Structure 1
Amino acid sequence: MTVLGIETSCDETAAAVVRGPADRQILSNTIRSQIDEHAEFGGVVPEIAARAHIEILDRIIAEAMQEAGCGWDDIDAVAATAGPGLIGGVIVGFMTAKAIAMAAGKPIVAVNHLEGHALTARLTDDLEFPFLLLLVSGGHSQFLLVRGVGDYERLGTTIDDAIGEAFDKTAKLLGLPYPGGPQVEKMAAMGDVERFKLPRPLLDRPGLDMSFAGLKTALRTQAKKLEPIDDQTVADLCAGFQRAVSAVLAARTRTALELFKARHPDAEPVIVVAGGVAANREIRQSLLTAAQEAEARFIAPPMNLCTDNAAMIAWAGIERLQLGPVDDMTLSPRPRWPLDSTSAGVLGAGKKGAKV
C-alpha cells in the first residue's frame, strides 16, 4: 500500500509518501524547518509554529506528491500526527489530513508521533519484535520495551527535563544561538572534557529513570563562578555536559539491555535509538559502545529519519493499517499521548492526559 504521511507536531512541516510493508520504499520525504522563524526568540514559539504550518503545509504536501510521482488515485490512505506535540501545529496537520481523506475518499490513520519514532527501525532495518527503544528528543527521554504495534511498556523515563530540553537550556544559558543542541555539540568538539567534572544524576539508584535538571544546574553554577566566561570555557562546559549526558545514557542502556535479556531470553538483544538527540555523534558512539559491551545489536536510523519527519508517520500508518480497521473522522488531536497508556505519568497528569 502507498500512504501519504503528514507531520506538524513541532517546528518542522513535513510530508512524505511511503510504500510498504513488503517494499519499504520512501518515495518522497519533504521537510521544511522553521529555524529562521524561531531563532530570534531562542526557542520554538507555539503560535508562530502553527501559523508557519498553515502557510506552507499545502505546498509541502504537493511537493511530496510530485516527488513521489503519485496522484490521489495512487494513495491508499492518509496518516498524520494526531499528538503529542504543540497542539496548534498538531491541529493544522491533522485537520488538513482529515480534509484530504474526506475529499479523496481515503481512510485516515491517526498516528502517535512517538510511535512514528518507535517503528522507524522497522522501516529502515526490517526489525522484528520485540526490541528495546531509547527515545531521546526535545520533549521525551524514555526507555521502552516494544513488543508490537501499539504494545509498549515504559521501563524508565526522565523525572524532569528531557535530554533535548536540557541541551537547549544549556545552550541558552551559555549564550549560544538557537537551535541549542547542535551548537552545544559543535562547541563540545573544541572543549576539554576533563576540565569540569559534572554530576551523573541518579546513577547511584537502581532502575532506568533519569534526571537532567540537576546536571544543567551544576553547569550553571560552574559558569557563574567563572563569569565573565570566554569561548574556551564555554567549549569546556559543553564538553563536560555532553560527556555527562552520554555517560548516563550509556549506563542506563547497559541496565536496560540486561533487563531485556531477562525478559526475552530467546530474542535477539537489540537497542534502537530514535529522536532528534540521536543525531548527536558522541551520544551515538557511547550507546554503540554500551551495546557492544552487552553483546547486543545497535540500530540508529539515518540522521534525516532521527529528527521529526513524515516518512516515519506514513510508515506507522502502514503498520496500523495492517492491524485492521482505521480511525474515523471523530478523532481529535491531542497535546499529550503516552505510548504506554497503562503506566502512571511520572510528570503528572491533568485534563490533557499524562505527560509521559
Structure 2
Amino acid sequence: MRVLGIETSCDETSVAIYDQCQGLLVNKVYSQDSLHADYGGVVPELAARDHVRKIVPLILSTLRQVYLKPEDINGIAYTAGPGLIGSLLVGATVARTFAYACKIPAIDIHHMEAHLLAPMLEKKAPEFPFVALLVSGGHTQLVFASNIGEYKILGESIDDAVGEVFDKIAILLGLKYPGGALLSQMAQQGITDRYIFPRPMIDRPGLNLSFSGLKTFAVNTIMSSAHDVQTHADIARAFEDAIVETLAIKCRRALDQTGLKCLVVSGGVSANHALRAYLARMMHILKGKLFFPSPEFCTDNGAMVAYTGFIRLKAGLFSDLPILVRPRWSLESLPRIR
C-alpha cells in the first residue's frame, strides 16, 4: 500500500508519500512563515488562500520527485482537524477530489494523533503503552496511549499552549515571528537564576497545565527591565527554564500515575533542545525510555499524516464522508484499531 498524506491544518502546506515496503518516500513542506511575519501570528484567511495556491503544485512535484503517477497511489490521508477551518477545508477538498478521481479510499486524520505517532517514523520507535506529551503552537496535552486510537487525556493546558506562549514572548524580546526557536537560541546566552519565573500549577494536584500567568509574569519582567541584549537573554533563559521544568514535573507525575516508564514527546516544541536535554536526564534517572521525532517531523508535516493514514487504511478504517472538517476534535473520540 502506498499512501499520500496532506497536511494543511494551519500555516504549513505539506505533502508526503508513505510506502508499506519502503517506508517514507518523500516529505515536502512549504512554510508560510514569511507571509504571517508582519502580523506576529497566523492570519487564517491568508493561510487558507496560500494553501489554495500551493497545494496542487506541491502534490504534483512530490509525485514527480519519486517518479510516481496519481494512479500509483493506493490511498489518501488528510488532516481534518483540529485546526483552522479554512485551511482544513483546502486539504480536505483536494484530498477527497483526488480520491474520487482515482477511485481510491480516503481517510480523515486527527492532527494530534498524527503528531503522537510521528516518532513511529524513526528507526527506533516506541511501543505501546506510553505517556505522550504533545506540545505545539495550539495544543499542550498529556496523553495515556494504550494503542492506536486508544487515548486518554490525562491533562492539558487550561489556557495558552506552550508554542503560542513562546512566540508571544519572543516578539516582546524583539525577535521575528515565529520566534520560539529564536528565543531558545537567545536563552543559551542567558545567565542562570538572574531571574526566577514561577512554575505554574506544580503545587496543585492533577496534570492540567496553565501558561497565561507565566506569560503575564514574563511580560511584566520585560517591561520593567533594561532593554539590552544580555538582559533579554537572561529573561529568555528564565522563561524557558520555567516552561521546561513545569512540563518535566507534569510528565513525571503522569508516569507515576500510570506506572509507565516510556515517554513520547511530539509537536513543534518537542524540537526544543533544553526540553530534550532536561527530559533525557529525567528519564535516565528513572531508568525509562524517551522518544522524540526527528526535528523535521516535529513541526506540522505530511509524513506523520501519511503514516497515520497508512495504519488506519490498512486496518480498513477509510471513510466515505463528504468533505467534512473538525476545527475542534477530541483525541479520545477516535475509532480504535482492533
Whether TM-score is above 0.5 comes out as: yes
Name the structure 2 match of 1:96. 94
- Give the superposition deviation at 1:306: 0.8
Name the structure 1 match of 2:310. 318
Letter in 1 for 2:7: E
Name the structure 1 match of 2:185. 186
Name the structure 1 match of 2:14. 14
For residues 302 and 25 of structure 2, the distance between their equivalents in structure 1, rounded to whole angstroms, comes to 11
The question of whether the paired residues in 1 share the 8 Å contact of 2:183 and 2:236 is answered with yes
- Give the superposition deviation at 1:133: 0.6
- Indicate the structure whose relative CO is greater, using CA pairs within 8 Å and at least 6 residues apart: 2
For residues 158 and 231 of structure 1, the distance between their equivalents in structure 2, rounded to whole angstroms, comes to 31
Letter in 2 for 1:255: R
For residues 141 and 45 of structure 1, the distance between their equivalents in structure 2, rounded to whole angstroms, comes to 21
1:1-356 superposed matches below 5 A:
1-20=1-20, 23=21, 25-124=23-122, 125-226=124-225, 228-261=226-259, 269-341=261-333
* 1:207-261 CA distance string (max 9 Å, x none): 21111111111111212222x5212111111110001111111111111111221
For residues 218 and 156 of structure 1, the distance between their equivalents in structure 2, rounded to whole angstroms, comes to 23
The question of whether the paired residues in 2 share the 8 Å contact of 1:249 and 1:287 is answered with no
What SS does the aligned partner of 2:39 have? coil
Letter in 2 for 1:194: D
- Give the superposition deviation at 1:331: 5.0
The question of whether the paired residues in 1 share the 8 Å contact of 2:3 and 2:74 is answered with yes
For residues 187 and 290 of structure 2, the distance between their equivalents in structure 1, rounded to whole angstroms, comes to 24
- Give the superposition deviation at 1:166: 0.8
- Give the superposition deviation at 1:5: 0.3
- Give the superposition deviation at 1:126: 3.9
The question of whether the paired residues in 2 share the 8 Å contact of 1:251 and 1:290 is answered with no
- Give the superposition deviation at 1:172: 2.0
Letter in 2 for 1:28: V
**Given the two structures, how large is their TM-score scaled by the length of structure 2?**
0.95
What SS does the aligned partner of 2:205 have? coil
What SS does the aligned partner of 1:139 have? coil
The question of whether the paired residues in 2 share the 8 Å contact of 1:158 and 1:210 is answered with yes
What SS does the aligned partner of 2:199 have? coil
Letter in 2 for 1:289: R
What SS does the aligned partner of 2:320 have? coil
For residues 260 and 329 of structure 1, the distance between their equivalents in structure 2, rounded to whole angstroms, comes to 36
Runs of 4+ residues over 6 Å off in structure 1 = none
What SS does the aligned partner of 2:134 have? strand
CA distance change for structure 1 residues 111 and 254 in 2, over 3 Å: closer, same or farther? Answer: same
The question of whether the paired residues in 1 share the 8 Å contact of 2:93 and 2:323 is answered with no
For residues 66 and 270 of structure 1, the distance between their equivalents in structure 2, rounded to whole angstroms, comes to 39
What SS does the aligned partner of 1:62 have? helix
Q: Which runs of 5+ in 1 are unaligned?
A: 343-356
For residues 188 and 126 of structure 1, the distance between their equivalents in structure 2, rounded to whole angstroms, comes to 30
Letter in 2 for 1:336: R
**Given the two structures, how large is their TM-score scaled by the length of structure 1?**
0.90
For residues 327 and 38 of structure 1, the distance between their equivalents in structure 2, rounded to whole angstroms, comes to 34
* 1:51-94 CA distance string (max 9 Å, x none): 11101111111111112222222211000001110111100011
- Give the superposition deviation at 1:147: 1.3
The question of whether the paired residues in 1 share the 8 Å contact of 2:5 and 2:302 is answered with yes
Using the aligned pairs only, state the percent identity. Answer: 43
- Give the superposition deviation at 1:325: 3.7
The question of whether the paired residues in 2 share the 8 Å contact of 1:272 and 1:298 is answered with yes
For residues 339 and 331 of structure 1, the distance between their equivalents in structure 2, rounded to whole angstroms, comes to 20
What SS does the aligned partner of 1:138 have? coil
The question of whether the paired residues in 2 share the 8 Å contact of 1:113 and 1:313 is answered with yes
For residues 24 and 284 of structure 1, the distance between their equivalents in structure 2, rounded to whole angstroms, comes to 29
Name the structure 2 match of 1:348. none
The question of whether the paired residues in 1 share the 8 Å contact of 2:107 and 2:317 is answered with no
The question of whether the paired residues in 1 share the 8 Å contact of 2:126 and 2:291 is answered with no
Which piece of structure 1 moves more, 167-176 or 3-12? 167-176
Which piece of structure 1 moves more, 49-58 or 187-196? 187-196
What SS does the aligned partner of 1:40 have? helix
For residues 89 and 115 of structure 1, the distance between their equivalents in structure 2, rounded to whole angstroms, comes to 18
Which piece of structure 1 moves more, 320-329 or 114-123? 320-329
